[in-house]
Copies of this chain bind each other. A is one copy, B any other.
């Protein structure tokens, strides 16, 4: 048994050797997700889903604290409704799934499975909103959406995925803009505080913005292979959907006006982001705040361990549990401690506690950090406070390490020769001046595979000419190869 399992754990491709292979191995071996019989659809297994549940709770708390409420809109959108907003349908129609039959009958009108819900929600808002007193409307939805993807990868790009989509309506342009930025801030805070994932906030270029938006903001993170990942987006929709769906209200001055809207979303793709940002050759490394188990206790199986070591381990578990630490005790006797160490490292549990005869003798517990493998013995009486401190430190250290990595992999250049050379490898973020023209952006993408991730909010100064053309630069852009 033990032999079979050791082989199982070591089946992971080293991260340094093949990042993409390593990613798929971790997803599979840590039992985060599995492939389904439907092309491009994954199964989120319990361990992966537990991570998503913790992310959901942390996001939902933030949504409610900023005045949002949840609701649920239908999975189906009539074709005619999707077609109302021209840019929106152009962006989404090529990648939707079509329902053409219900029960025994051919449908008179085809239904789209929602790729996003602006259309159906817009139609309902038109019905619900009468007066400025009804505004703002601040609704979020937790749901599944479907986009018919050609190339898929678990969590990162799947035909069906889980997400939340916020949809708000406001009296004024300024309020909508503030909301779009507020939610971008919520996303940044969530990514950095919960996922230990430093992100760059910025505005998307015209060519990368959401189909139907006035402008799109995003947060972008740098993964362990120095590719960028779009971690969340927040759109200012202006009055585009309001005009199409006739969402009007009687204003304070009695005039009839169209509402101003936003929408914003984050998805299960973030589980993939966490894997790629923190993991190493031994597997997953989970930030404590989203770890299903923050601590695993492994008893050393010596002599009559079930009478001596097990009760000691159980009392440690119960204390941690009572203090609100998510802890599991691995008391299986068919596996060696060494095998268990490897399995729980693969699963990324932040802290391992080892309990052996010597530890009991010294009235202590040995702690091992997953991220740097540092070992520290805690006196038995101080296990709870010791573990709590350790978990905070790990959370902070993972964030700091990711910041440092990003710094190392962020470069600036104004020379296109240098830019092209860099993009032959994987330079991370390259900050370069850009003329603001879509044609130039497209040429850069075609010539180097790099895209503009976003135009940072921090307002980097620019006095140069565009990295590619002769025109004066309008702003600095974050370029990268991305997921």
Contacts and interface: CB of A to CB of B under 8 A. Distances in A.
A113 B99 contact: yes
Contact of A37 (B37, B120, B139): B120
A36 interface: yes
A50 B74 contact: no
A70 B53 contact: yes
Contacts of A103: 94-97, 148, 150
Contacts of A172: none
Contacts of A42: 74
Identical subunits present = 2
Contacts of A41: 74-76
Contacts of A43: 71-74, 124
B124 A76 contact: no
A418 to B, nearest CB: 39
A148 B73 CA distance: 17
B71 A45 contact: yes
A81 B148 CA distance: 21
A123 interface: yes
A328 to B, nearest CB: 12
B34 A49 contact: no
Nearest to A78: B37
A133 interface: yes
B124 A81 contact: no
A69 interface: yes
A123 B38 contact: no
B69 A50 contact: yes
A98 interface: yes
Contacts of A78: 37-38
Interface string A23-67: 000000000001011100111111001101100000000000000
Contacts of A144: 75, 143-144
A208 to B, nearest CB: 21
B97 A71 contact: no
A278 to B, nearest CB: 22
A240 to B, nearest CB: 20
Contact of A36 (B53, B101, B113, B120): B120
Given A38-B77, A49-B72, A160-B76, A97 B104 contact: no
A99 B99 contact: yes
Contacts of A381: none
A37 B81 CA distance: 9
B75 A146 contact: yes
Given A77-B38, A123-B37, A70 B46 contact: yes
Interface string A111-122: 101000000100
A334 interface: yes
A124 B45 CA distance: 10
A133 B46 contact: no
A129 interface: no
Interface in A82-138: 94-104, 110-111, 113, 120, 123-124, 127-128, 133
A162 interface: yes
A49 B69 contact: yes
Given A72-B44, A75-B160, A101 B94 contact: no
A96 B160 CA distance: 19
Contacts of A113: 75, 99, 113
Nearest to A95: B103
A420 B322 CA distance: 59
A92 to B, nearest CB: 10
A45 to B, nearest CB: 6
A61 to B, nearest CB: 13
Nearest to A47: B69
A36 to B, nearest CB: 5
Contacts of A81: 37
Most B-side CB within 10 Å, residue of A49, A81, A159, A160: A49
Contact of A71 (B44, B99, B110): B44
What are the nearest 3 A-B pairs in CB distance?
A: A103-B148, A41-B74, A98-B101
5 contacts: A38-B111, A41-B76, A95-B103, A97-B99, A99-B99
Given A38-B77, A43-B72, A96-B102, 10 more contacts: A41-B75, A41-B76, A43-B73, A43-B74, A50-B69, A50-B70, A53-B70, A72-B162, A76-B97, A98-B101
